[in-house]
Amino acid sequence: MADQTSTIKAAAYTANGTARDAVALPPAVFDGTVNSPVMHQAVKAFLANQRQGNAKTKTRGFVVGGNQKPWKQKGTGRARQGSIRAPNWVGGGKVFGPIPRSYAQYVPRQVRALARKSALNARAREGKVLVVDRFEYERPQTSRMAAMRTRLELADHNVLVLTDGVKENVYLSGRNLPGMLVMPYSDVSAYHVLWSDVVIIEGGAIGQALAPVKDTEPEGKAGGKAAKPAKAAKAERPAKAEKKPAAKAAAKKPAAKKPAAKKAAKPAAKNKKKKGS
């Protein structure tokens, strides 16, 4: 079904999840066209092309054994049998079982493009397309990507992040997060869009060069700075440890008097023995 609508707008954010003014999606792609049969064909072909097709069973000719007739043809009163590997025997061959084959389905390029366009329009109609001004990751940082998703309240959703070209650091930042998929905008298919609950597109990928705005740090980073007072508390521990040796030395001093008491007790014992003798 195709439906022509006015310009579709999408909510825009910074890479840290700070809200900014909504932007208009390009009408060349987001024109309201949603063709369900074409999307079904593309998704079915995509899933079929993921199959390896290496399932295989053995016919009676490939099962080991069964070369000898189990009993003679006549005179036993039993049904005639020619091999214990016949399909009607337990452990015998399989009739018309699967053999390795290709499950690949070909879909014309224009049909795939229409399916991809329909899937994006379906998400845009639902308001599930978000635009991020620019992803600038100097190094892979999963915590930053997770903080952005949490700030956008998408922690329990399947999120598809489409970048402007190949950005390895962004890909590595989202690779380890469950329910998140990062790929270039040019590589996305109808299946990936329909798999996701929310699609986040980088502005440059759809021709939207968004000017930078004042951004705020996500809550994950602010929480990390509050841990500094704990280090100061740890620095106080050596001072307490210094008092312990002094206390131990004071406790040992009374113990030093015990040998003197023993020496004084020995002469008294000797005097008692002399008096007794």
DSSP for 28-90, written as a single string: TT-SSB--HHHHHHHHHHHHHHT---------TTTSS---S-SS-SSSSSSPP-S-TTSTTST
Question: What is this structure's pTM?
Answer: 0.70
Residue 251: both structure tokens together:
């406790």
Count of C-beta atoms within a 10 Å radius of residue 93:
19
The verdict on 142 and 44 lying in the same domain is: yes
The verdict on 151 and 259 lying in the same domain is: no
Q: Which of 214, 241, 261 finishes a domain?
A: 214
Q: What is the pLDDT of residue 6?
A: 72
* Total residue count of the chain as it appears in this document: 277
pLDDT in tens, 3-28: 455 788 999 999 988 999 999 999 99
| Domain enclosing residue 139, as ranges | 9-51+104-214
The verdict on 110 and 185 lying in the same domain is: yes
The verdict on 30 and 167 lying in the same domain is: yes
CATH number, position 202: 3.40.1370.10
The verdict on 156 and 202 lying in the same domain is: yes
Q: Left, alpha or beta for 3 (phi > 0: left; psi -120 to 50: alpha)?
A: beta
Looking at the chain, the whole-number percentage of residues with pLDDT higher than 90 is: 67
Counted domains in the chain: 2
